[in-house]
Amino acid sequence: MVNKQQLFDITKQILEDIELVIHFNSSGSFFLPEDSGGDMTYRFFGQDLIVEFEWEETETLEENIVLGDYYNDENTIKIQLLSSKPVDFYTISNIGEVLTHELTHWLQEMGGIEFGDTENVHTEDYYFQPHEIEAQYYGFMFESEYCGSELVEIVERWFTKYGKFHEFNNENELKTRLLETLEEFGQKIG
């Protein structure tokens, strides 16, 4: 089971390094913590971790988009920022959400969880796998606390921003079902 406070503290530490990179650099590919003036790797729970932060400026999007991936068995998380506008508070909170989500997968793997379907991210069933529910919950809760917003607002914002990329069949039904599942998960863990 993930310790929420430890997870959020790790997210905040890495997010500070990402903010340093954004503040003092232009777009590019960065390996953290090294490229923010730190060591070669982060060290959490006795494990090394590298965060690859890829920042691309683009004129083809209406708003800034943040994508993430955790490379199983490599202790590497990739965060990709596609920015079409200046990086603002909500972009940073979105980076924090995605980073927390991927950190949860890293912790899950350290805990021995085997990931099921990791390929079909455009199917609705993908989002209801137990490992995904946990990662989504902690990611959305980080952003909720960061922004001072309710979970429902964060989930709404995610569907508004990212739903078009996933081409869900019945977005409103999926959103309601996902929110109920996330709230049930939150009650279950206390």
pLDDT tens for 116-173 read: 656 666 677 888 999 999 999 999 999 999 999 999 999 999 988 887 777 776 778 8
- Statement: residue 83 has pLDDT above 60: yes
Mean of pLDDT values over 59-86? 94
Cα–Cα distance between 18 and 54 in angstroms, integer?
10
- Statement: residue 106 has pLDDT above 70: yes
Q: pTM value?
A: 0.94
Provide the strand spans (E) within 58-172.
65-71, 76-83
Q: Do 54 and 78 meet the contact criterion of CB atoms below 8 Å apart?
A: yes
Question: pLDDT higher for 163 or 32?
Answer: 32
- Statement: residue 17 has pLDDT above 60: yes
How far is the CA of 11 from the CAs of 89, 98, 114, 182, in angstroms? Answer: 16, 10, 23, 20
pLDDT for the residue 40: 94
Cα–Cα distance between 83 and 94 in angstroms, integer?
12
Those residues with Cβ within 8 angstroms of residue 16's Cβ, 6 or more apart along the chain or in another chain: none
- Statement: residue 179 has pLDDT above 90: yes
Mean of pLDDT values over 18-40? 93
Tell me the pLDDT tens digit for each residue of 62-73.
Answer: 999 999 999 988
Q: Do 33 and 17 meet the contact criterion of CB atoms below 8 Å apart?
A: yes
Q: Is the dihedral of CA 11, 16, 22, 28 positive or negative?
A: negative
